[in-house]
Structure 1
Amino acid sequence: MKHIRNSSDKSALDKLLVEASEQKDASTTNANHSKKRRHKKKKKTGTPEQIQEKERFGKAVSYIERMDPSDVIMKDEELLEALTLELETYFKTQKVTYFKSEAPVNSDNYSVFLDQLEKKSMSILLNRHLRNALYNKMEDKIIESSEAVKAYIDSCTTPKQTLRIRKLIKARVYNRVMDPCYNLISSPYSVKDIRNFLWYNPRYHDFEEAKREEESAAELLTANILKEIPDYYPDLYPAARRMKRHFILHIGPTNSGKTYDSIQALERAAVGIYLGPLRLLAHEVYEKLTADGVPCRMKTGEEDIAPEVRDHQASTIEMLDSVKHYNVAVIDEIQMIADRQRGRMWTAAILGVCADEVHLCGAPEGKDIAIKLIEDCGDTYEVITHERATELVVEKEHFSFPDDVQSKDALIVFSKRNVLACAAELQGIGISCSIIYGALPYDVRKEEVRKFTDGETSVVVATDAIGMGMNLPIRRVVFLESEKFDGMTKRPLRTEEILQIGGRAGRRGLYDIGYVNAEFRKNLIRNAFKSAPDPIEKVALPFPESLLGLDGSLSDIFTRWGAIQQSNDAFNQTDLSVEIKLCRFLEQKTDDKELIYKFITMPFDEDNITLFSIWEEMADCEIEHEIFDYRRFIPEISMTSYSAEDLSFLEENYQVCDLLCYYLNRFGLPEEYEEVSEARSEIAVKIMEVLSKQELIKRKCRSCGKQIKWNSPYNICSECYEKHMRTPFYGGW
């Protein structure tokens, strides 16, 4: 048609278009008439029986859609009674589908099931099989409640015909009524009732019977423990109760001279002992007494220096002999009595030390609880309040690291990684550092303290280990971090922690004023010095070794002992989780409770695979009465020099030697002790050499190697992070 050129051709085209349009309209009209005819024909089809069935179905559907299933089911007492009986029958006869069908029931998963039942009640039992068993009775009730529904169901000749109406009932009833109904019928039953039902179930009878026997044994063990513990707890230490002791409490903040005065009394005594929290502090007292002409023995779990000396001893708190008589005893840092791991040792020392005169040194928050224990013992006491010798000032000026670092600063962070990274950054700009953190061998810590004291290093970078009685010539304490990880969570510093650490500034005799500053959250630090920490109200109790003679495994005894403390508001619960874990491990090898107790009280990092494997071999040899080949584990230290990258390797080897020394001391092999002690000293020298080089490794980006800031929370620089985030793998562009 595109070739048509004149008007006549154009009119012919118009005519063709009109004819095509009329044909289309006619076909559409015919199609519509055909549809109407078919529709009318369809409406007219169907037998009278089919039409009647549709009417019955419509009435049934109408009832189901109008009814309230809660009224039909929840108010029918007879039905609820039947459902309750169904529930009891299920527990007594059916398999609880908490357990996977392919997994057999055993004592372990049954115990887990009971724990879940205790925590979540019976909601964990509302599973598919139990729901179906209850729903079947509910469905029957809905059908019987309506003549229309019942008539339709009765008229159906095949199950497939009833399926439509049953699906509709389930949609209306199942989700709306099942949970409320189950809660209603199960609410009268306690966990004990459910266990009584399960006792009749052949699938769980044996496990339930064993569980009941286990619980009876636990109750008996608890009763025996309570019998062994006197109503008057100090009576656990009869030797101390036969004495009339006098306590002198030296109470004051850091840098107030309280420990100095007590050491003077120790030196004047004929027989005396110092008990502190750290080997380093015990070593300081040992050196002071020796330098002052008083022969002294130093005894810790890992070493025994000058064992021939009998009159004076400097030790960590765990080394107290509660039978030996002393003229004077000094117990340092008594505020640690509230510590969940070691606090019980301070409680035992105050209650059980056999000394005519006992000096307690500590922060003010420990005074009231110490006095309460002394009064419980019936002993006399006096309180000497020590005032801080130098003024302490929180600086107003902002601190920026590393620009504002000054000589004789103590920079405080709260992890080994940050200590090393911070010190490395300072060394990079020419500032020499001493470093102190908990995992550092105490010989090395002593050397780092000496270098700072003698001026060989300008500043000290340390964790809160610096706050535990260490005397350093610090002019200013700077908190580079205001939060610490306490083993469970990262939290802000407490008031007592800030005061203990910040109080190290302005050493007596060197400075008239001590200064404190912080790079972040200075208000937290400032407010701590305007307030006082809350007094300690509870103490952790030591584990009575007399309980080792009770029937039952040591892990069960520890567990019941912990539960007794937890239920008593007067005591802090001692954290015995590590001891219980180690107990259960050794109980697979032996039932000798005294031997197990010796091994679980060895101080070592149980999470370190190397140390744990050595500890296990030691235990195996003692259990099998074999000789432990300790020489096989003495580290071989190369004569070549080590770098900062080897610090962790050297520290772990030092810990290995510590564990070997502790074993040789505890199991009476002093002749072999010297060999291991020499190896340990060599490792300490190597660590000192590494630190003396002042060449710690700065933190670098793991991707590009570029230096990153010491306190960066990530091991990658911001540029590399952005680059990686742009890649398709990370959803970038």
Structure 2
Amino acid sequence: MSGRQQRKIDNSFLEIKQAFIKWEENKEDPYIAEKEIRLLIEKISNMQTTIKKSDSHLYEENEIKLIKIKKKFILLSENLYEDVSKKYLIDITYNDLIKGNDETLLRYGVVGLLKKEKFIEQAFHKYFDNNTPDHPKDEYPLARSSKRKFVIHTGPTNSGKTYDSLVKLKNSHSGMYLAPLRLLALEIYEKLNVDGTPCALTTGDEEIEVPFSRHISCTIEKADLEHFYELVVIDESQLAGDNFRGAAWTRAILGLYAQEIHICCSLNAVTVINKLIKDCGDSIEIVINERKTPLIMEDIEFKFPRDVRAGDALIVFSRKMVLKTASALSEYNIKSSLIYGNLPPDTRRKQVSLFAEGINEVVVSTDAIGMGLNLPIKRVVLMETEKYDGDEQRILTDQEVKQIAGRAGRKGIYPVGYVNVINDKERIIQQLYKFDEELTKVYIGPTKNTILKIRIGTLKEKLMYWKSFGSKVSYIEKTDIEEQLYLLDSLNKNLETSLSEEELYRAIHIPFDYKNEKLLYKWQNYLREAASNIDEHTKPIINLNAELEDLELMYREVDLYYSFSKAYNKKIDNQWVQEKRELISEQIHFILNEGLLKEGKHCSRCLQPVPLNSAFNKCDECFQKENK
């Protein structure tokens, strides 16, 4: 046994010798060589336990070799530390770092020890403290150069907040509308053009230029802070308090270069947004709107699908449940429009149109419907009262209940809006009429200029320590940047070093579903192509005979091709993009209208599959619950 172990130790000593040569002659990244040697020393030390028991003479010889190796490692590490300390602007001495404890250095390495003792974090925090303003408003000098007027339009849903703002926007010399959703940006773009105000469109996946336009409709993340506008409308601004997307609203409020800015938000967001505007030194007017139609919770019990009627919006919280619900309705010859996150904008628009024109009797939707989409809804029915938010399955918040339920009762079409729910009615009633808790904080994200100006560390470290630095303003917090850090972690080391930090920063802010493995692979491949300086990115393969889920993915692949090409100034086949988007959208629209309707029999309560030969329209579990 000891002979075999000794041969392994001898091989490890040889590997250490080769690693030292690479390190000394700069044939390999010294950080890689350092880590390799540390791991080999640890490996030998572990095997020495066996040698010590069987051959003390061999053990002593190995220990002498190890002592020499460790001394050489400590010596070379001092040179490595000089490089690291300059890179991170760390001013302690090498001896102060290791404090005479060589074993700690051997365990962690230079960089690992600096991180363990938080010297690198302290270096970043010192840099942020000295080089970032006390308030994020001062990261936007153009906005600070002008005196802006804010008008806050607040009130419940269906109170005309956005309508009043859009009237002002249409009458302005130049203006911009900022939407929470691409579909809503598209709706306002179309509305302004139909009403005679030439308007362009910019979203993360699409740009449409309109001749002579001085107005633009955008998704909030695409807000233009570089040009002056007479008037800007920011919709659903209470989302400034959202941990994942709120930074885009805060950025717009702080950074817009405009004469007049109209903010549409819920009542519970007014105080914190008011505070943000006051910090900027701008003037504020607050307009409180009342709901245009009453909203009534029905007393009667709702049974699905027996009680479904024309004008209903049936709300569920996943794509799967949207499809199941629509399929179950089709068994009773009830035509429904479908709205959920993965649908292409053109498909969603057609589905909305079928409902608005009365061709489809009801709409089955996720909570995307709560984001200001204008639909002629008479009654909202919550088919579910819990949702998966990406981290956990949880009950709906008060604000979510109000946003969704409030879509019932469209002014000018229905004099009253109705709400019903399939379960938990008492709780939903309380949430619907409960006074909202005030938002107490808004979120900010890292600005490109701030991050790229940092003279120390990698892009990942800059973002990571920006997040850990905290905020200098009590009611402003740092947004979640998990996606950006994950994308940087997913990169091959060679690819990361072949692109500039600015190029990497652009890539990690391209909008796509990074949790989808196929899209992540496409993103990584487009980065490899960008690094190789090709003229045009590879187009995705399109198969119109694919299943619904695959077609939805194809559409997002076309979006990613377009977004990457725009971000890296590559040649874009715009005709191909438009043609494929239209073809995929048409096919998805066809499947939703014709193809998904033959999926079999479902439980009328929970929508789970029921055997076709069952005598009942409920599954066994729901039947037993009702007949206890």
Is the TM value for this pair above 0.5?
yes
Measured at CA, do residues 436 and 203 of structure 1 come closer, stay the same or move farther in structure 2, by a change above 3 Å? same
Match of 2:542 in 1: 635
1:477 is aligned to: 380
1:618 aligned onto 2:526:
yes
CA–CA distance in 2 between the matches of 1:718 and 1:492?
A: 35
Matches within 5 A, 1:512-551: 512-546=415-449, 547-550=451-454, 551=456
Contact 2:243/2:443 (<8 A) preserved: yes
1:590 alignment partner in structure 2: 496
Partner residue of 2:606?
711
1:321-332, aligned counterparts within 5 Å? Answer: 321-332=224-235
Residue among 512, 533, 542 paired with 1:604:
512
Contact in 1 for aligned 2:535/2:570 (Cα 8 Å): no
Partner letter of residue 351 of structure 1?
A: L
Match of 1:439 among 342, 345, 359: 342
Q: Which amino acid aligns with 1:442?
A: P
Partner of 1:212: 113
Change in Cα spacing, 1:387 to 1:503, as seen in structure 2 (3 Å) is: same
Q: Which residue of 2 aligns with 1:339?
A: 242
Is 2:561 the counterpart of 1:655? no
The Cα of 1:712 is off from its aligned counterpart by 5.6
Q: Is 2:619 aligned against 1:680?
A: no
SS in 2 for 1:693: helix
User: For residue 208 of structure 2, what is the aligned residue in structure 1?
Assistant: 305
Q: How far apart, CA to CA, are the structure 2 residues paired with 1:225 and 1:718?
A: 68
**Equivalent residues of 1:272, 1:328 under 8 A apart:** yes
Asked if the contact 1:413–1:419 (Cα under 8 Å) also holds between the matched residues in 2, the reply is yes
Contact 1:248 1:382 in 2 (8 A): yes
Instruction: Look up the SS of the partner of 1:366 in the other structure.
Output: helix
Q: RMSD over aligned Cα, in angstroms?
A: 2.8
Matching residue of 1:578 = 483
Residue 418 (structure 1) aligns with: 321
CA deviation digits over 1:560-583, x for unaligned, max 9? 111123797533341111110112
Residue 690 of structure 1 corresponds to 591
Counterpart-to-counterpart distance in 1, 2:286 and 2:471: 31
Structure 2: gaps of 5 or more residues: 1-32, 40-48, 50-95, 615-628
- Selected match of 2:458 from 545, 548, 553: 553
Stretch moving more, 199-208 or 226-235: 199-208
Q: How many residues align?
A: 520
Paired position in structure 2 for 1:221: 124
Shift of 1:446: 0.8
* 8 Å CA contact retained: 2:603, 2:609: no
Q: Which moved more, 1:380-389 or 1:535-544?
A: 535-544
Rounded to whole Å, the distance in 1 between the matches of 2:302 and 2:597 is: 24
Change (3 A) 1:261 1:670: farther
- Give me the whole-angstrom Cα distance separating, in 2, the residues matched to 1:267 and 1:310: 12
After TM superposition, the structure 1 = structure 2 runs for residues 171-210 of structure 1, keeping only pairs within 5 Å, are 200-202=101-103, 204-205=105-106, 207=108, 209-210=110-111
5 Å-filtered alignment, 1:450-461, equals 450-461=353-364
Does the 8 Å CA contact 1:326/1:356 hold for their aligned counterparts?
A: yes
Cα deviation, 1:611-639, whole Å, max 9, x if unaligned, reads: 112111110111222344423x241435x
Contact 1:664 1:672 in 2 (8 A): no
User: Any conservation in 2 of the 1:347–1:539 contact (CA below 8 Å)?
Assistant: yes
1:251 counterpart letter in structure 2: T
| Cα deviation 1:662-703 (Å, max 9, x = unaligned) | 11222224652331221111100111111222743536xxxx
Contact 2:314/2:380, CA 8 A, preserved across alignment: yes
Question: Map of 1:129-168 to 2, 5 A cutoff?
Answer: none
Are 2:253 and 1:350 equivalent residues in the alignment? Answer: yes
Give the whole-Å Cα distance in 2 for the aligned partners of 1:199 and 1:600.
42
Flag the structure with larger Rg: 1
Q: Which range moved further: 540-549 or 516-525? A: 540-549
The percent of aligned pairs where both chains have the same amino acid is 35
- Indicate how the Cα distance of structure 1 residues 450 and 533 shifts in structure 2: closer, same or farther if over 3 A, else same: same
The aligned residue for residue 500 of structure 1 is 403
CA spacing shift, 1:381–1:286, aligned 2, 3 Å? same
1:406 equivalenced with 2:309 (yes/no): yes
Shift of 1:229: 1.4
Match of 2:185 among 278, 282, 300: 282
Distance 1:428 1:212, change over 3 A: same
| 263-272 or 306-315, which deviates more | 306-315
Q: Distance in 2 between matches of 1:670 and 1:247?
A: 40
Contact kept in structure 2, 1:661 and 1:677, CA below 8 Å? no
Cα 1:710–1:617 shift into 2, 3 Å: farther
Worse-matched range after superposition: 620-629 or 673-682? 620-629
Q: Quick one: structure 1 residues 567 and 261, their matched pair in 2 at CA, closer, same or farther if it must change by over 3 Å?
A: closer
Which is worse superposed, 560-569 or 372-381? 560-569
Q: Secondary structure at the match of 2:573?
A: helix
Amino acid at match of 1:357: E
1:262 counterpart residue number: 165
Q: Which amino acid aligns with 1:469?
A: G
C-alpha contact (below 8 Å) 2:233/2:262 kept by paired residues: yes
When the two structures are superposed, what TM-score results if normalisation uses the length of structure 1? 0.67
Contact 1:303 1:665 in 2 (8 A): no
Residues 328 and 607 of structure 2 are in contact (CA less than 8 Å); yes or no, is this contact kept in structure 1?
Answer: no
